[in-house]
């Protein structure tokens, strides 16, 4: 299953009710057992804090702090998901942050390209510290469907609710990830595989 994403960024003084996408792309997401140090070791990462103000089965409202830049993000979940972001002041972010207690997470994001595709690798922290997710972006649906994932992946999680950021923040590590890592490490001792 693949996901079509529409994103729109607004200045901090408006949140228009009409969604006009600034970027449309297709996405596939996978878990990794190991961090690809050989490929991402020299890339300057983004430090991201995410706190969920509201979580429902259809829509999440989160506040984020990415390398010190605060935003509010509204995400709608479906195969054609929407994401609207607007800048916040640091004061607004600090006022809202306590409302996210028990529904927040920290991650480090590495953005790169390989195999002719942009991708990002999220390395989670704290109670999710072993979790690593790679996200590939495609301009065309056909390319996304034809994509053969690299050997380094454990499982495709594109349509899995268990691996949405809101679920990870609220519930924690999916049992399937721990099982996948244990099984993989048992089969592959020190083999290095590229993403």
Integer Cα distance of 194 and 77 in angstroms: 30
> Whole-prediction pTM value?
0.82
Cα–Cα distance measured from residue 174 to residue 131, given in angstroms and rounded to the nearest whole number: 9
Residue with token string 């049992």: 175
Q: What is the pLDDT along the chain (195 residues), one digit of tens a residue?
A: 555 555 545 444 444 444 444 567 788 999 998 888 888 878 889 999 999 999 887 889 999 999 999 999 988 876 566 788 889 999 999 999 999 999 999 999 999 888 788 899 999 999 999 999 999 988 888 999 999 998 889 999 998 889 999 999 999 999 888 777 777 766 554 444 556
Dihedral sign for Cα atoms in the order 69, 75, 79, 80: negative
CA-to-CA dists, residue 136 to 4, 13, 108, 120, 158, angstroms: 12, 32, 16, 7, 10
CATH 3.20.20.210 fits 3-13+20-187, yes or no: no
């Amino acid at each position: 299953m693949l996901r079509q994403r529409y994103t729109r960024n607004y200045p901090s003084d408006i949140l228009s009710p009409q969604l006009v996408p600034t970027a449309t792309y297709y996405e596939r997401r996978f878990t990794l057992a190991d961090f690809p140090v050989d490929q991402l070791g020299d890339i300057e990462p983004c430090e991201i804090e995410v706190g969920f103000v509201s979580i429902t089965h259809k829509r999440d409202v989160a506040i984020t702090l990415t390398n010190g830049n605060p935003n509010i993000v509204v995400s709608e979940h479906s195969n054609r998901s929407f994401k609207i972001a607007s800048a916040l002041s640091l004061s607004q972010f600090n006022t809202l942050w306590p409302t996210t207690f028990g529904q927040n997470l920290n991650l480090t994001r590495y953005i790169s390209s390989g195999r002719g595709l942009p991708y990002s690798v999220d390395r989670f922290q704290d109670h999710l510290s072993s979790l690593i997710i790679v996200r590939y972006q495609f301009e065309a649906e056909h390319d996304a469907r034809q994509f053969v994932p690299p050997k380094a992946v454990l499982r495709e999680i594109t349509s899995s609710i268990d691996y949405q950021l809101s679920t990870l923040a609220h519930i924690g590590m999916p049992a399937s990830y721990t099982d996948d890592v244990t099984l993989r490490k048992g089969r592959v001792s020190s083999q290095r595989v590229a993403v």
